[in-house]
Amino acid sequence: MKLGLQVSRFSFPDAPASTGATWRAIARDADAAGLASLWVMDHFFQIAMVGPPEDDMLEGYATLAHAAAVTERIELGTLVTGVTYRHPGVLLKTVTTLDVLSGGRAWLGIGAAWNEEEHRGLGVPYPSTRERFALLEDTLELAHRMFADDDSPFEGDAVALERPLNRPQPVRRPPIMVGGGGERRTLRLVAQYADACNLFDTGLGPEGVPHKLEVLRGHCADVGRDYDEISKTCLAALTLDTGAPLPSGVHGHSVDEAVERLGRLGAAGIDHVILSTANTTDPAAYDRVAEVVRQVS
């Protein structure tokens, strides 16, 4: 099993003056702890399940590029980009740039978008669900072409590109992760186009993850895709206890408790767990993270 880290809160102490230094420390600590991946949300306002919209939120790709400059090994991605935020060709150029500058460590994490509040707030068009999924499928198809140096004209259901030129090419074709567990459309798109799915551990219950993966297996059979080619990832809220104070309502776990929970996810079919923790700025947490990485790997 691989472990990653998602950072979803940027209202650091003494921010914004401290934000750059704090983010660099998080990225370095995550890399040194042996985590396989580092993720940020791709939002412009903080989302309601984390905090009020006025909380600090950084633009995802600039944030990942900054992390790339101070790390050596850890892979980098958004969890996940709403397909409406950037024109597909520009998005794929942006991900390619991150890949080139990081030496082949970028992921394309993408989904159909959902946060209407930030769309309205910043004047970003928010089309219907049907239109967003059409745009998502076009973007996924286009990613395979642009990452393979195919600049022939592209005519999709939602977008048309005369010449999707993408130079330089990625150092490594960025793996494609489609976020969400929608059984009819989202998991079908995973089977057709993606290298990884991403589910949410919280709220699915003990049978939820295996059920979603069985649905994915069925879609793979339908489209002739090898189910085992797809990485099964999930986001899990799990904070390791260091003895330092934690936010109200957050339970700190021991290393043994964390390993036991991750073992259950592994038994359910998950091979890459992305941790959402409440103490990303606590350097002591990364010593415990490193031990968890050692035990689960």
Non-local CB neighbours of 153 within 8 Å, separated by 6+ positions: 160, 161, 162, 163
Give domain limits for the chain. 2-296
Q: What is the pLDDT of residue 79?
A: 97
Rounded Cα gap, residues 151 and 167, in angstroms: 10
Q: Amino acid letter at 253?
A: H
Q: What is the pLDDT of residue 118?
A: 97
Q: What is the pLDDT of residue 47?
A: 96
Rounded Cα gap, residues 27 and 33, in angstroms: 10
Cα–Cα distances (Å) from 290 to 27, 31, 281, 297, in that order, read 14, 10, 15, 10
| Residue 250 burial class via C-beta count within 10 angstroms: exposed 0-12, middle 13-18, buried 19 and up | middle
Write the DSSP string, 91-141: HHHHHHHHHHHHTS-B-EEEE----HHHHHHHT-----HHHHHHHHHHHHH
The residue ranges of the chain whose pLDDT is under 50 are none
Beta bridge partners of 37: 4, 75
Q: What is the pLDDT of residue 201?
A: 74
Q: What is the pLDDT of residue 111?
A: 98
Q: What is the pLDDT of residue 20?
A: 98
Rounded Cα gap, residues 93 and 120, in angstroms: 25
Helix, strand, coil distribution of the chain in percent, nearest 5: 40, 20, 40
The SS3 assignment for 161 reads strand
Give the distance between the most distant pair of CA atoms in the chain: 57
Q: What is the pLDDT of residue 207?
A: 75
Closest CA to 55 of 11, 121, 7: 11
State in words which class domain 2-296 has.
Answer: alpha beta
pTM, full prediction: 0.96
pLDDT tens digits, 238-286: 999 999 999 888 999 999 999 999 999 999 999 999 999 999 999 999 9
Closest CA to 238 of 188, 293, 189, 158: 293
Does a cis peptide bond (omega within 30 degrees of 0) precede residue 16?
Answer: yes
Rounded Cα gap, residues 255 and 259, in angstroms: 6
